[in-house]
Amino acid sequence: MQRRRFLQAAAAAGLALTAPSIVSRASAGEPFAGPFWILVHASGGWDPTLMFDPVISPEHTRSYSSVAKIGNIPYAPTSTDLSELEWENAENSNWILSNEAFLNKYAGKMTLFNGVDTKTNNHDAGTRSIWSGKTQEGYPSLGALLAANKSPGAPMAFLSSGGYDATEGLIGLTRVSSVDALTRIARPNQVDANDANSSTFHTPETWGRIAQFQAERAERLRTSSQLLRKRRAISALELARSGDGELAKLQLPTELVDIPSGDLDDLERFMQQGQIAIHAFKSGLGVSASLGLGGFDTHANNDRDQRRRQAMLLGGIDYLMTYAAAQGLGDKTFVLVGSDFGRSPYNDRDGKDHHPISSFFAMGPGIPGDRVIGQTTVERLPMAVDSGSLAPVAKGGTVVTPAHIQRALRRLAGVDESDISAQFPLEGSDLPLFG
């Protein structure tokens, strides 16, 4: 039996096995200095032909008649003209980006994967696959795996506001909702949680005694209980309480993104949640974050709706990159971008249905820029690549899958040979995807 399956079975039976997040608590006082990881999920299944895997085919393309390139990166030369997108608010143009504008800034920093075979048309399986390397349940998100390996004691090691965030018990998950909620959690003794200098409910001495009595009571309950599951729950409570002081170090943004247009509420939330994640990184409390932007499941009116969401997505990623740099983390932050799967040829509603062949792109320290791996045929079928040069080949070779990408990302992060990663082995061979 695999060790991972044994751990799951033991947990289900109530056995109090020690998790990495428990045993590594001693490292909690050491601020994590990076690198940091942001996983961006385009939820619903994006259309690569309208982004960076363009194709000239009436079955797949109606919004452009030629393929453009910036450096080696191909792109669909679609417009973000507000009238074409059927948006009336002129303010929208300040927050979105076209393919061309995005690549003008980031092509030199990107490794792009085209023709990625997710091997599924199912939303849940595709989302699991792209972020864990497995379509089946039971594997953690890359974000959870990295946090558990790098700084499991950090109180906000793995944050999430969308995408695939399964932890499989490796690490605690911090749900990112709003600054106000996090502030109240971080400063429970402040009368005004938004003001670190406001009066407190209790004096420091009283607050310390409360914490001491809580710890003593929890220890009595834990040692007197004969139920392993109850003892485990009490230990988890002690662990959570022990991070209260560290959460007070959280430096939250003084001002959140405010987009006046009601058309872009989803993008506003995405940017705000990105701000919170970046400040958790800056405070030394976080390792990774999973962010999501939905609306990509375009079974009708594909070209308009995909172009809207893609323009929002690229504008949001640009904001994340710019904001991280402004906080001094630009050279320490990875941004990975993927989706459930791709889209099929047009259906009879001007939409596109699910198709397993997709794209993925990555930016960050050490990731080669202006690089494209893989491509698709006019029929949107994946072309295999040579396992050494990664050049497309007509015969033989390897079709790139999410498992190949996840293996390469583990290797890039230096966690591919860890005991934690060994619990979740991935199929396939190692390809030199990031050099």
Tens digit of each residue's pLDDT (9 = 90 or more) over 330-383: 999 999 999 999 999 999 999 999 999 999 999 999 999 999 999 999 999 999
- Do 152 and 227 fall into the same domain? no
CA 339 and chain centroid, separation: 10
Query: Residues 270, 38, 82, CA angle at the centre, nearest 5°?
Result: 40
- Do 318 and 382 fall into the same domain? yes
- Do 89 and 222 fall into the same domain? no
Q: What is the pLDDT of residue 235?
A: 62
- Do 114 and 222 fall into the same domain? no
Residue 7 falls within a domain, yes or no? no
3-state secondary structure of 195: coil
- pLDDT at position 196 over 80: no
- Strands 352-355 and 342-346, sheet pairing: antiparallel
Rounded CA-CA distance 297/363 in Å is 25
- Do 131 and 232 fall into the same domain? no
- Mean pLDDT to the nearest integer, 155-165: 94
Q: Single out the residue of 325, 40, 259, 268 nearest to residue 159, CA to CA.
A: 40
- pLDDT at position 9 over 80: no
- Mean pLDDT to the nearest integer, 266-270: 96
Q: Single out the residue of 117, 120, 87, 109 nearest to residue 309, CA to CA.
A: 87
- Do 231 and 333 fall into the same domain? no
- pLDDT at position 243 over 60: no
Rounded CA-CA distance 422/417 in Å is 7
- Do 198 and 119 fall into the same domain? no
Q: What is the pLDDT of residue 206?
A: 82
Q: What is the pLDDT of residue 12?
A: 38
Residue 22 falls within a domain, yes or no? no
- Do 205 and 305 fall into the same domain? no
Note the pLDDT tens digit of each residue in 277-335. Answer: 999 999 999 999 999 999 999 999 999 999 999 999 999 999 999 999 999 999 999 99
Residue 41 falls within a domain, yes or no? yes
- Do 108 and 215 fall into the same domain? no
Contact present, 165 and 290 (Cβ < 8 Å): yes
Q: What is the pLDDT of residue 8?
A: 45
Residue 53 falls within a domain, yes or no? yes
CATH number at residue 138: 3.40.720.10
- pLDDT at position 231 over 70: no
25 confidence band (pLDDT: 50, 70, 90): very low
- Do 209 and 306 fall into the same domain? no
Residue 17 falls within a domain, yes or no? no
Q: What is the pLDDT of residue 11?
A: 40
- pLDDT at position 14 over 80: no
- Do 53 and 172 fall into the same domain? yes
Q: What is the pLDDT of residue 360?
A: 99
**Sequence-separated (6 or more) residues with CB below 8 Å from residue 300:** 349, 350, 351
74: containing domain:
32-185+256-422
200 confidence band (pLDDT: 50, 70, 90): confident
Question: Does residue 123 or residue 180 have the better pLDDT?
Answer: 123
The model's pTM: 0.86
| Percent with pLDDT over 90 in the chain | 69
Q: Single out the residue of 49, 73, 77, 113 nearest to residue 359, CA to CA.
A: 113
* Mean residue pLDDT across the chain: 88
- Mean pLDDT to the nearest integer, 96-104: 98
Residue 387 falls within a domain, yes or no? yes
- Mean pLDDT to the nearest integer, 383-397: 95
Residue 402 falls within a domain, yes or no? yes
